[in-house]
A = this chain, B = another copy of it.
Amino acid sequence: MAQEEPRYQLVKDFILNGINAKQWKEHKRVPSENELVEMCKVSRMTARRALDELTEEGVLYRVQGRGTFVAPKKLHSPLLEIRNIAEEIQNRGSSYSNELILLQKESCPVHLLKHFSLNEGDEVYHSIMVHKEDGKPIQIEQRYVNPTAVPEYLKQDYKSITPNVYLSKVAPLTEAEHEIQAKEADPFMKVTLKLQELEPVLCIDRITWSDTTLVSYCQLYHPASRFSLTGRFKTKHQLTEL
């Protein structure tokens, strides 16, 4: 069991523990590469790799000639955490429950045919679920699942394990694409989420891949004004053109 961790990971953990234990606070210096060499008994390149990766992950920032410092805390893509909604809710001391509205096989909606690389009439799995915090509905989840990638999707019991937790087990996520909109609520949403008149919903569309196969297309609806759900993320791609 317990795969032996590489040594740079141990150094990373060493730093992360120090940060969590408030030993090193925001904008304060963490041990230099050479200090880590002595403290952790590794070579400088290994210590460096640990610091490099933590920098890449946004935990640290480095200034040539001065040192390596704890970066101000950023929420780490809470947009992604939204998915683990059960955990999220429990973490803030509420009780999580859900209601399964629909779980069936049906022919793929035309607007998703190209996404799933299917032909008209081919079937996909479709589920609709309402997630609740202390009994109050806070999210509608509609999901279309690729039956080839997840043949057992319909046979699960989603009382205890949410669809995305199950999916992540059978088809480990390698990529996700999101689209965010504020939308008018349709009648179903209004009733289900107990929205006020004209209250919009914040809609997150998410497409997920496992390697190169598309696993699921998912829409999440939140009452926008009541919860003011926020998603934060970083980009670090080709920003040259902006």
Contacts and interface: CB of A to CB of B under 8 A. Distances in A.
Nearest to A175: B236
Contacts of A230: 179-181
Interface string A164-183: 10001000111111111111
Given A61-B212, A240-B172, A233 B202 contact: no
Given A84-B242, A241-B168, A235 B182 contact: no
A181 B200 contact: no
A115 to B, nearest CB: 9
Contacts of A186: none
A113 to B, nearest CB: 12
A242 B216 CA distance: 13
A229 interface: yes
A202 B182 contact: yes
B83 A242 contact: yes
A241 B173 CA distance: 8
Contacts of A155: none
Contacts of A61: 212
A176 to B, nearest CB: 5
Contacts of A58: 237
Interface stretch (A72-80, A119-127, A138-146): A72-80
Interface in A154-204: 164, 168, 172-184, 196-202
A217 to B, nearest CB: 13
Nearest to A225: B184
B197 A242 contact: no
Contacts of A164: 242
Contacts of A114: 72
A235 B183 contact: no
Given A74-B175, A181-B224, 17 more contacts: A58-B237, A63-B212, A72-B114, A77-B237, A84-B241, A174-B236, A177-B234, A178-B233, A179-B232, A180-B180, A180-B232, A181-B202, A183-B224, A198-B198, A199-B200, A200-B200, A200-B224
7 contacts: A75-B177, A84-B242, A173-B240, A177-B232, A177-B234, A181-B229, A198-B199
